[in-house]
């Protein structure tokens, strides 16, 4: 049975948690509202699509608001208890800090587990449906997807670039327009205009682009010397986009990393690792075949199933080695040098070029899969590190709330915002470094919890033993220095292990 003290502390947390969760979620919603609502209303989208957009956005809002609400509630509760001398009274009766912290800590563990389930079972589907909804709304209002300074290539045979764009209910006013028209198979036309108007008609399925004060430059592909330049005061382009208007809402498309669960991403990582191992085996086989041709030995590297395919006469091998020495001294691009080489040597040099091209293709594919795996593993760790922050934030709230002796919502929200921004900044920085392969995905996502959690444990230790911070540093500076060097060594070691190539299966 739960003790009276545990029930009391948990009851004190319930109200502040839901209140701060509501305030934080409302801030996120208002930010989204001011950012997107004017854009949606200017496109004349129906209200049900707008409501669905904000409803689906609640998925990522909940995932971010719960940890911050945990920190705010912990600050408010323990700050008020410290201000009212309740913590002092508990300590006078022999109740330790750990006993006071235990109910909230256990509750935060269950909250973190619930958020892990939410991140793996609800959030991916919510993000996926939100992505499909945005694509569907873009099809209904094609001009909505045109962004200033970005090439728009979703129209058939037309690429569009605008510098400025102003939306109204039915018309988009644009400035400094550039259009590449590929509708004619025998020519390419480039159109520039100072300003223009873009609107679409769902009934007719026509997108009309009306340009003013510009010129058109046209090049004929059959005869590149044919060049046409025409200036105009008004020019109209009509594009049939009926397939966009009448296209049903898509059911399933390829999901990105934020639309997958941890299990699905780990399965994809394993597939990419298997592909990389297969490509490495292919590269080793290609190199072994080439070694066999030149040196008569594969130097222990694997050969294909049919060894006869790599058998080469000794005379051709010696001639090739002599030819390679001559090539280093002469210009291989010279026709005279090429004519001096025998046909077998020419074929072998061509084989070398083919080998290098194949190795480059496989190497680029391996690098692409590694970058994809880094992004996937970052998202996998994020699904667990952010929920785990609920536990860390309870420790932070206990330490800072007791020290600040203030249970006001203003002070608590301010401190919570600072720590949440610090925590989120560390995650974003680590994510960027991990995506580029410069940092371990594990450390990039967990370093924020390690730093903030370590600082909170240190503060709790000082509070428990009533030790001033300056005195603690004076007594333990050498230990802290050793721990710092140890952490740095572990980071470098893990980074080295992550960047080490997988040579499993090689001989």
| CA gap 13, 268 in Å, rounded | 40
Rank 132-141, 224-233, 489-498 by mean pLDDT and report only the highest: 224-233
Mean pLDDT of 381-390: 92
pLDDT band at 507 (very low <50, low <70, confident <90, very high): very low
Name the pTM for this structure.
0.68
Instruction: Lay out the sheet containing 206-220: strands in order across.
Output: 152-155, 158-167, 171-181, 187-201, 206-220, 227-240
Rounded to whole angstroms, how far apart are CA atoms 258 and 3?
42
Query: What's the rounded Cα separation, in Å, for the pair 280 and 373?
Result: 16
Q: Whose structure tokens read 């046409």? A: 228
Q: Can you tell me the mean pLDDT for 67-87?
A: 87
CA distance 437 to 305: 36
pLDDT (tens digit, 9 = 90+) per residue, 486-500? 766 665 665 555 544
Q: How far is CA 93 from CA 2, 88, 406, 498, in A?
A: 19, 9, 23, 51
Lookup result for tokens 């948690």? 17
Helix (H, G, I), strand (E, B) or coil at 341: coil
Supply the pLDDT for residue 22.
Answer: 92
Q: Provide the pLDDT for residue 482.
A: 72
State yes or no: pLDDT of 412 exceeds 90.
Answer: no
Closest-CA residue to 100 (of 79, 78, 68)? 78
Q: Percent of the chain, pLDDT > 90?
A: 14
Q: Taking the domains of the chain in order of start, what are their residue ranges?
A: 4-132+381-499, 157-240, 257-371
CA distances from 412 to 45, 99, 147, 341, 496 (A): 40, 23, 40, 81, 41
CA angle 171, 177, 182 (to 5 degrees): 100
Least confident of 272-281, 315-324, 417-426: 315-324
| Residue 269: CB atoms within 10 Å | 18
Least confident of 48-57, 220-229, 305-314: 305-314
* Element spanning 213, H or E: strand 206-220
Query: Considering only CA atoms, which of 105, 181, 136, 111 is closest in space to residue 43?
Result: 136
Quick check: helix, strand or coil at residue 152?
A: strand
Q: Among positive and negative, which fits the CA dihedral 77, 78, 84, 89? A: positive
Phi, psi (rounded to 5 degrees) for 229? -130, 120
* Structure tokens that stand for 118 in this block: 């939410």
Determine the average pLDDT of the residues in 253-267: 84
* Residue 191 φ/ψ, nearest 5 degrees: -120, 130
């Amino acid at each position: 049975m739960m003790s009276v003290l545990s029930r009391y502390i948990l009851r004190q947390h319930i109200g502040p948690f839901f209140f701060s969760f509501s305030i934080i979620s409302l801030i996120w919603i208002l930010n989204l509202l001011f950012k997107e609502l004017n854009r949606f209303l200017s496109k004349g989208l129906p209200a049900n699509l707008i409501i669905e957009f904000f409803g689906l956005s609640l998925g990522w809002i909940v995932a971010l608001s719960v940890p911050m609400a945990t920190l705010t509630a912990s600050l408010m509760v323990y700050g008020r208890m410290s201000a009212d001398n309740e913590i002092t009274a508990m300590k006078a009766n022999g109740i330790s800090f750990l006993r006071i912290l235990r109910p909230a800590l256990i509750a935060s563990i269950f909250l973190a587990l619930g958020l892990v389930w939410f991140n793996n079972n609800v959030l991916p589907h919510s993000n996926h449906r939100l992505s499909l909804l945005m694509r569907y709304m873009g099809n209904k209002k094609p001009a909505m997807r045109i962004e200033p300074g970005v090439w728009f290539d979703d129209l058939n045979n037309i690429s569009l670039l605008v510098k400025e764009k102003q939306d109204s209910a039915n018309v988009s006013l644009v400035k400094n327009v550039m259009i590449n028209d590929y509708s004619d198979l025998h020519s390419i036309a480039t159109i520039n205009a100072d300003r223009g108007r873009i609107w679409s008609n769902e009934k007719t399925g026509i997108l009309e682009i009306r340009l003013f004060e510009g010129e058109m430059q046209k090049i004929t592909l059959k005869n590149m010397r044919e060049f046409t330049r025409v200036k105009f005061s008004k020019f109209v382009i009509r594009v049939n986009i009926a397939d966009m208007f009448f296209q049903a809402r898509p059911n399933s498309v390829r999901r990105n990393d934020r639309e997958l669960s941890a299990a699905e991403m780990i399965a994809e990582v394993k597939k990419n690792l298997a592909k990389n191992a297969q490509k490495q085996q292919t590269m080793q086989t290609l190199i072994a075949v080439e070694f066999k041709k030149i040196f008569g030995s594969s130097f222990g590297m694997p050969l294909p199933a049919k060894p006869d395919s790599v058998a080469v006469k000794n005379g051709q091998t010696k001639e090739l080695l002599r030819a390679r020495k001559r090539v280093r001294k002469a210009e291989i691009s010279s026709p005279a040098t090429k004519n001096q080489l025998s046909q077998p040597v020419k074929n072998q040099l061509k084989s070398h070029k083919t080998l290098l091209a194949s190795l480059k293709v496989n190497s680029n594919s391996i690098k692409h899969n590694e970058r994809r795996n880094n992004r996937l593993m970052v998202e996998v760790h994020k699904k667990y590190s952010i929920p785990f922050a609920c536990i860390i934030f309870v420790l932070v709230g206990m330490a800072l709330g007791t020290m600040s002796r203030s249970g006001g919502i203003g002070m608590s929200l301010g401190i919570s915002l600072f720590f949440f921004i610090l925590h989120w900044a560390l995650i974003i920085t680590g994510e960027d470094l991990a995506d580029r392969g410069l940092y371990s995905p594990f450390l990039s996502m967990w370093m924020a919890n390690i730093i903030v959690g370590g600082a909170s444990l240190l503060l709790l230790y000082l509070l428990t033993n009533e030790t001033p911070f300056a005195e603690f540093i004076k007594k333990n500076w050498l230990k802290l220095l050793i721990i710092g060097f140890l952490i740095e060594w572990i980071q470098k070691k893990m980074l080295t292990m992550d960047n080490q190539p997988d040579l499993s299966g090689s001989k």
